Amino acid sequence: MPLRPIYLDCHATTAVDERVLATMLPYFTQNFGNPSSISHIYGWEAEAAVKQTRSILADAINATPEEIVFTSGATEANNLAIKGVAEAYFQKGQHIITVATEHSAVLDPCNYLKTLGFKITILPVEKDGIINLNELEKALRPDTILVSVMAANNEIGVLQPLAEIGKLCRSQEIVFHTDAAQAIGKIPLDVQAMKIDLMSLTAHKVYGPKGIGALYVRRRNPRVQIAPQQHGGGHERGMRSGTLYTPQIVGFGKAVEIALEEQDTESDRLRQLTLLLWKQLSQLPGIHLNGHPTQRLAGNLNISVEKVDGSALLLGLQPVMAVSSGSACSSATTAPSHVLTALGHSEQLAYASVRFGIGRFNTQDEIDSVAEHFISTVQSLRKQTNFL
């Protein structure tokens, strides 16, 4: 048994890659200037570093550096996108469409806007977690101003058809936002080809530091307007005031740069490890794969287990592996995962679910150990309930 559990919760967060940390360190102690201080070399150094990361992120999604707005993370980026569009376009309409399996950082701002009089349509998903494009088209109205659909689901890893959604929204001049926190550096993203108008990003899902994210805001064809939600200083072209956190921004850029360089080989490796884990776990009866079998993130495996108490299962797994039963942002709640109930699962099955987030630093030996302990834990719990 390892001294510490094997970490398999990479959809919650990832360790900072040592290459990222090494890039960040000088900006804490040597190049510590404020990028808004344009009258001396300390500010120039910081400004240049920030500019470089803007270029890295822009290249990663086929945007321009001027379209990258830095935030404290994807949660703030989602809030800025949704509330910012609502305020900027409310005279055009007050109808917003999103999806039942979205992260709470999308659903909660939408629910807040509902209290202000906005009309919110929350689309269901199919049993595999993917939206029905025909249902989305039917939901569009003359007063629809925004559609928000995440790129990759944080719990079940499902990839939504962004290009098709973008084409549909563009044809009706509706702003299209996607939460791509789990997708950046893992799957190809192209805001031009996919006709995406707003995209939320974060660093800590891709081996970068916590506390830094970004919002892509389209500047042309068409130009998208968002009302700032944080005022004071006019930073980030007036969209998000606040002194830029240069070390975190530098780390964000380096993390994405590494992820893009290694994307193809790492995706293949993660896919093989995920298939290996599923092959072993699926030998147990009463095991369900949650989400589309192939249209998902390479390192994601989310399963539900019949005839097992969810709390007892997680407790039994803890000595060997660090996994979760849902989103890290809602793990303190006692309600079952809203994502899994949206797939049609009963509360019992939703509670007895485990999300494996396999990452850069996991090995095949670790996967074998995890599978062995998982199987033995389930078998033990089932014997206690006389389930064979």
Q: Which regions of the chain does DSSP assign to beta strands (E)?
A: 6-7, 68-71, 95-99, 119-123, 144-148, 175-179, 198-202, 213-217, 287-289, 300-305, 321-322, 353-357
Using a pLDDT cut of 70, give the percent of the chain over it: 96
- Could you tell me which residue, 213 or 336, shows the higher pLDDT? 213
Q: Please choose, from the candidates 161, 150, 257, the residue with its C-alpha nearest in 3D space to the C-alpha of residue 206.
A: 257
pLDDT at position 2 over 60: no
How confident is residue 46, by pLDDT bands cut at 50, 70 and 90?
Answer: very high
Across residues 126-146, what is the average pLDDT? 98
Number of Cβ within 10 Å of residue 332's Cβ equals 6
Residue 10 above 60 pLDDT? yes
Q: How far is CA 180 from CA 133, 148, 205, 372, in A?
A: 19, 11, 10, 33
The answer to whether domain 6-15+263-384 and domain 18-260 are alike in fold is: no
Q: Mean pLDDT score of the chain, rounded to an integer?
A: 94
**Helix, strand, or coil here: 380?**
helix
- State which CATH number among 3.40.50.150, 3.40.47.10, 3.30.300.20, 3.90.1150.10 fits the domain covering 6-15+263-384: 3.90.1150.10
From 132-136, 239-243, 360-364, the region with the lowest mean pLDDT: 239-243
- Predicted confidence at residue 386, as pLDDT, reads 63
What residues have CB less than 8 Å from 75, skipping those under 6 apart?
A: 105, 213, 329
Query: d(Cα 186, Cα 348) in Å, to the nearest integer?
Result: 32
Between CA 355 and CA 11 the distance in angstroms is: 9
Dist. CA 147–CA 256, nearest whole Å: 26
Which residue(s) pair with 302 in the sheet? Answer: 355
Residue 329 falls in the annotated catalytic set:
yes
pLDDT digits (tens, 9 = 90+) for 150-185: 999 999 999 999 999 999 999 999 999 999 999 999
SS3 73: coil
Under the banding of pLDDT at 50, 70 and 90, the label for residue 373 is very high
What is the pLDDT at residue 331? 47
Q: Is the pLDDT of residue 40 over 80?
A: yes
Q: What is the pLDDT of residue 388?
A: 46
CA distance 131 to 373: 35
Residue 327, pLDDT above cutoff 80: no
- Answer yes or no: are the C-beta atoms of 158 and 152 closer than 8 Å: yes
Does residue 169 contact residue 147 with C-beta atoms inside 8 Å? Answer: yes
What is the band of 326 on the pLDDT scale with cuts at 50, 70, 90? low
Average pLDDT over residues 2-18: 93
pTM of the model: 0.95
277-323 confidence digits (pLDDT tens): 999 999 999 999 999 999 999 999 999 999 999 999 999 999 999 99
8-state DSSP, 41: H
Strand partners, 123: 99
The token pair at 87 is 């305020």
Torsion sign across C-alpha atoms 294, 296, 300, 305: negative
Cis peptide before 222 (omega within 30 of 0): yes
pLDDT, residue 304, reads 96
Structural domain boundaries in the chain: 6-15+263-384, 18-260
Phi, psi of 178 (to 5 degrees): -130, 135
Fold (CATH) for 18-260:
Aspartate Aminotransferase; domain 2 (3.40.640)
56 has a pLDDT exceeding 50? yes
Q: How would residue 82 be classed by pLDDT, with cut points 50, 70 and 90?
A: very high
Residue 324 has pLDDT above 70, yes or no: yes
In 3D space, the residue among 251, 159, 237 whose CA is nearest the CA of residue 203 turns out to be 251
